[in-house]
Every structure is written in C-alpha cells, then in structure tokens.
Chain A
C-alpha cells in the first residue's frame, strides 16, 4: 500500500541535468497553475453550497456573488428543526445507525468470505469465485424487486433491516474481492507457522490474518460508511415513515417543495449531511485514495 512514497526520490534524478532545468521549471509552474485552476472549478460547487447555506433568502439566486451580505445563521437553526417535525438529530442518528450497521456487517462478512477464497481449499472454489466476481457487475435492479418482496413478506419494509441485513451476508462482492486481493499478498508462512503452533483455521484467521489485513478492512469500513451514507435509492424504496428517515431522505422532501424561501435551510441541511463524509475524507484520505488505487489493478 505504500508504493507511493518511494517515487519522488527517483524522479528527481532525471531532472538534474543542468541545461534542462530552466524550461522544466516553467513547465512545472504552468502545470501547477493548470491544476490549481482546475481545482478551483471543481471545488466551486462545494463553495457555492457552503456560501448558499449562509445566505439570506433574497440573495440565494439573485447574483453570482458567492459571499453573502451577512451570514444568515438562522438557515441552520431552521435546518436543525428538521423536516416533517423530525429533528435533524434524529435524522442524523438514523443515518448513523444504518451506516454503522452496514460497516460492521460488511467488515465481518466480507473478511470471512475473503479468507475462504484467498486461503482455504474447498470444492467448487474456482466456479464460486468466478460467480462472486460476476456479481460485482450485476446491476442492483435485477435483484431489487424480489428482495423487496422478500423483505415485505418478512414484515421488514419500513424498518432498517433491509438496509443492514444484506451487509451481514457479504452481498457487496466488491469488498470481498478487495480483501481477497490484499490477503493474497500476505506470506503463507505465517499460517503455516501458526498451524505448527496448533492453531486451527479459525484461530489463525482471527489471531494472525485479520490483524494483518487491517488496511483492507479499514478501506472497506470507510467506503461502506460513505456509500451507505450517500445511498438514496434503497432508502427511498424501503423507508416511508418520516421519523425513520435518514438525512438523505429528508433532503428529498425539499426536492418536491423547492420553493425559493426554503433554499437556505435546504442547503444548510445539505451541508450537515455532507459533513460526516468530509470529515471522513480529511481523516482517512490516504486510505481512501490508496484503497481506490488498489481496488482492481493488482491482479
């Protein structure tokens, strides 16, 4: 996972020829200018979001000016009241409960399956692994309606079970694959040593392999959190009581209303809904970026 750190030192060597230094310096400046300009454009929507969440109602759409004439904190107090008489704290709690449950489920079930695929021998391993890979490409919609019917028959519609339970059954094959790839990189001698010391497959999984797989597990946890947090479609079809809504679903209520006066509070709530992802991103960006970089190319 730490391949990145070695590259800068190597590249400095090639640029050390004296006469080539000047044009390269100019090129470097141009490159940075280009990158920064691109970044400004890319970050504009987020700056707009933050600015608008603090604008008074009459300035929201009136001008190009990003900065509000004064900071309208009441947008946030209105947003905290929530939607449909459900406070933002409740919505936030609901979102956290679903995302947290999904994280626990995915880390547990995907690492178990991954260990079997990466390290254990069993009949039909080849075909089952191929099937698991194929389900990464399976569109969610192909299983959506029967899954809905199943959860409906179990009386679980309008509860959080349909959003959490599947994660305990390793249905997100992407993460199984990710962890398999990581486990394959661990030396086999570790388990052989553990076996000689009398560890069965379960103890060597929990005591030897799982601790070493931590980077892949953290990547799985963070991505699961963010994707579940952002998910809209599943929540839309399974939840309909306002007090069970997540932040994402509450934002949807604004979509229908869409009157300009609600703009400030709507975007204040959008900021609140994005905040956990932004914090996660700032805290774990190395894991996120490298987790993505390693997701498929180290075949």
Chain B
C-alpha cells in the first residue's frame, strides 16, 4: 500500500547516466508513454475540479453564462434546503448500516472458507458473483420487485413491501450492498492466506484458544487488508446511485427516504438544471469523502499493523 515511497531519485539518476542513451531522450520516452494519462488528468480531472469549484459559487443553468453569487449556493444548501439535509442523513445512515454489515459478512465468510479443503474455489467464485451483477439495473429492478408489496419479503415476513415505506426502503437498498460482499470477501481471503501458518502453530503450542488466536493473530495480521476494504467500500457507499434510482423510480421516495446524496445531486443538476448548486453539492461530497478518508487514515495508525514495516 505504501507504494509511492520506493523511488530513490539519486539511484535513478546514476542508472540512467550509465546507460548509453542520453538522459533527455529516455525522459522523453517516459512522457510519450504518459501522454494519454497526462492529457486525461489535466483536461478531465484537474480542470473539471477547478471549474466545478468555480461553478459552485455561481448560478448556472448550462444555457446562459454563469452568474456569480458568492456563497449563496452553500448557504442555501446548509440553511434553507431540508431536502439537502435529508439526502445527507439518508446517505450517512446507509453508509453506517451497509458498510459494517457488508465487511463483517465478508470477513466471516472468508474465515469460513480459509481452511476449507474442497470446494473453496467454487464458493469463492459463487459468493463473488453478486458483486459483479449487483451494480446492474437488472438486479436493482429485481430488488424493487422482491421488496415491493406482494413481493417475496412481504410474503415471508408479512411486513408489507419495504420499498413503499419510509425507513424500510433505505434498508432494502442497504441489503443490496450487503448482498454484494463478494469483492471484499475475496480480498480478505487473499489476505488471510498470506498469514504464515507457523504463527497459529506456535499459538496452539502455547495453548491459545481459537478466539484468542483470532484476536491476537488474525486481526492484527489482517488489519492492513481490513483497512483497505474499509476505505474502498466507504468511498463507494457514499456514491451509491443505481439501486436508489431503481427502487424509487428516480425520485428518492417514499418521503425522500431513498433520496441519496448522488440522487439529489443528479436531480438538482440534470433535472432542475441548477448546475451551480449541484457543483456545490459535488464539492461538499468531495470534501466529506476526503475528510472521512483522512480520519480513517489517522485512526488507522492505532490499529493497522504492518508486519513488514521494517523492510520498506
């Protein structure tokens, strides 16, 4: 994970100096290889970020020129728009429910499969399959039908359709995410396989219980992978869109209970043509995701353990 650090500039220079080709020419080759990425990063990432920051201080409907309004979008968002806060609440609730459940399940299944002799490859692939299918509109539509009035969940639990009830609709979307625990599970499993078996053997000799082994060996040794999954899934969860759109037919209902942040952003920008307002929403999302990631990284120092820290 700490891949950026291994480029000692000094050594690089001596290496290129000894090769026969002039340094300038070799450096030029690198930039040729890099040119598509540089163009993309400049025109499709950096410039748009700057422009969206600018637009967030304007009134802009895509047709007439942007009109500077200062902090108006932000103040309106934070103080006069209850639907905005609704979308924030919905998204945060969803992240807090879906991500721990999904990662917890992924870890449990990975632990179950870890020492399996037969069928491990089969289960691994089978549990992974929903992760690929689940992002599709097809599965989102199935979800809506299963959790609708008269759908399977209604029949089994007698709770009525979830997608028509505020609060429950959000849970239905969260369950779709939990259902897709396959991707983090596969990563957990690969991580578990890299823990040296001697550690467990030594602990067994010392008479450590399975639970003790889990807490004292598995969790610390797996912590970088847990951290990796946590960051990745959290960032993804903040941006969930397709299932929310499908479950509520694009409207975020019932009673705005599935009005996810991105759905509201889409609604403001592309349905209502308030591009300035949507840009402000996008920048707040960017800052929040940045802040959450930073907090995760900060707290990780106390619980993420890098076994090979010494030789990096």
A interface vs B, CB < 8 Å? Answer: 3-4, 7-8, 10-12, 14-15, 28, 31-32, 34-35, 38-39, 42-46, 48-49, 52, 61-64, 108-109, 112-113, 115-117, 120-123, 125-126, 128-133, 135, 137-147, 149-150, 152, 166, 168-171, 176, 180-181, 195, 200-202, 205, 226-227, 229-230, 232-233, 236-237, 248, 251-252, 254-256, 258, 263, 266-267, 270-271, 273-274, 277-278, 281, 285, 288-289, 292-297, 299
Contact = CB atoms under 8 A, between A and B. Distances in A.
B269 interface: yes
B145 A61 contact: yes
A256 B249 contact: yes
B16 A121 contact: yes
A201 B44 contact: no
9 contacts: A48-B146, A109-B37, A120-B29, A141-B265, A142-B49, A145-B278, A255-B245, A273-B138, A289-B186
Given A122-B27, A293-B186, A299-B1, A42 B130 contact: yes
B142 A48 contact: yes
A150 B142 contact: no
B121 interface: yes
Which of B148, B225, B241 has the most chain A CB atoms closer than 10 A to its own CB? B241
Nearest to B245: A232
A236 B12 CA distance: 47
B239 interface: yes
B138 A251 contact: yes
Interface in B165-194: 179, 183, 186-187, 189-191, 193-194
B289 interface: yes
A121 B21 CA distance: 13
A141 B30 contact: no
B136 A230 contact: yes
Given A61-B148, A135-B41, A150-B48, 10 more contacts: A10-B197, A120-B29, A146-B49, A150-B44, A168-B36, A230-B132, A255-B141, A256-B250, A267-B142, A289-B124
B179 to A, nearest CB: 7
Contact of A271 (B138, B186, B293): B138
B78 interface: no
A277 B135 CA distance: 11
A115 B33 contact: yes
B291 to A, nearest CB: 12
